[in-house]
């Protein structure tokens, strides 16, 4: 069901969906490990799609932790709300969502899990999403995202990696997850702690 909805949406919105199939459980597990989801207080997921990472977040997130998913595709968001009761989804572009208003009275995010297809995005969109999101990641918080093997060498993939290195501390790459279509790896970085 998820895979067929995903593929249908890919055929009509290929540039924003950016993949032919949802991420695999193996990639979801690698993302959770990298992000340290088991100790998170407030998780932001960008581009949850049909919920491949969302299910893993739900299964690992400590009780009483909070979650927000930002999904631009309202068909995906409708299905996510039906499937994941008690989790909060907003239909918006990650580049334009008003995080400051949403976070009023709530703790900042300490983990961002991104399923966005960064390599399919122009530089301006890569930058505007990072500029809108990263100010709301608490100091020392983690930012986890993935790249498809090979695609990371395209100019847009290299540019995105460079942006991560410029904006985050200690960016690392995981081992390749071969059990994914296409094989992929995880980038993990942290928001630098301010030193006085
Ligand atoms: C490659 S799919 C990944 C879906 C899911 N996280 C997974 O790993 O299977 C990218 C997702 O990002 C969403 N998306 C694309 N551009 C977005 C944007 N600017 N803001 C929020 N979501 C976006 C798409 O609608 C799609 O659901």
Closest CA to 108 of 117, 95, 99: 99
Does any domain span residue 97?
Answer: yes
| Tokens of residue 172, six digits | 């690392």
For 150-183, how does the pLDDT look when each residue is reduced to its tens digit (9 = 90+)? Answer: 988 899 999 999 999 999 999 999 999 999 999 9
Question: Please, are residues 45 and 68 in contact by the beta-carbon 8 Å criterion?
Answer: yes
Closest CA to 182 of 151, 159, 156, 153: 151
Q: Name the pTM for this structure.
A: 0.95
Does any domain span residue 50?
Answer: yes
Domain count, the chain: 1
Angle between helices 25-35 and 52-60 (to 10 degrees): 50
CA of 157 from ligand 1 middle (Å) equals: 16
The Cβ-side half-sphere exposure at 147, using a 13 Å CA radius, reads 22
Pocket (CB within 6 angstroms of ligand 1): 16-19, 22-23, 46-49, 52-53, 70-73, 76, 93-95, 115-117
Strand 137-148 to strand 184-190: parallel, antiparallel, or no bridges (unpaired)?
antiparallel
Question: Please, are residues 147 and 118 in contact by the beta-carbon 8 Å criterion?
Answer: yes
Does any domain span residue 23?
Answer: yes
Q: What is the CATH number of the domain that holds 82?
A: 3.40.50.150
CA of 174 from ligand 1 middle (Å) equals: 21
Does any domain span residue 195?
Answer: no
Beta strands in the chain (DSSP E): 42-46, 66-71, 88-91, 109-114, 137-148, 169-173, 184-190
Does any domain span residue 79?
Answer: yes
Does any domain span residue 181?
Answer: yes
Per the structure, the complete domain to which residue 170 belongs is given by: 2-190
Residue 195 has pLDDT above 70, yes or no: no
For ligand 1, mutation pick of 13, 16, 90, 122 (most atoms within 8 Å of CB): 16
pLDDT tier at 196 (50, 70, 90 boundaries)? low
Does any domain span residue 168?
Answer: yes
For 110-130, how does the pLDDT look when each residue is reduced to its tens digit (9 = 90+)? Answer: 999 999 999 999 999 999 999
User: How many CB atoms neighbour CB 77 within 10 A?
Assistant: 19
Give the model's pLDDT for residue 16: 75
8-state DSSP, 61: S
């Amino acid at each position: 069901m998820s895979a067929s909805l995903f593929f249908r949406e890919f055929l009509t919105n290929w540039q924003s969906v950016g993949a032919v199939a949802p991420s695999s459980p193996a990639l979801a597990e690698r993302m959770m490990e990298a992000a340290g989801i088991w100790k998170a207080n407030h998780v932001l997921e960008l581009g949850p799609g049909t919920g491949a990472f969302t299910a893993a977040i739900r299964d690992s997130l400590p009780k009483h932790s909070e979650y927000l998913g930002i999904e631009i595709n309202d068909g995906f968001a409708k299905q996510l709300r039906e499937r994941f009761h008690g989790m909060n989804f907003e239909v918006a572009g990650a580049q334009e969502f008003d995080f400051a208003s949403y976070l009023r009275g709530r703790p900042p995010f300490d983990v961002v899990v991104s399923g966005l297809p960064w390599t399919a995005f122009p530089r301006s969109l890569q930058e505007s999403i990072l500029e809108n999101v990263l100010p709301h990641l608490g100091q020392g918080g983690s930012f986890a995202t993935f790249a498809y093997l090979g695609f990371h060498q395209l100019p847009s993939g290299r540019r995105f990696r460079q942006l991560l290195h410029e904006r985050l501390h200690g960016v690392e790459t995981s081992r390749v997850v071969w059990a994914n279509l296409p094989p992929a790896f995880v980038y993990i970085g942290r928001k630098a702690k301010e030193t006085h």
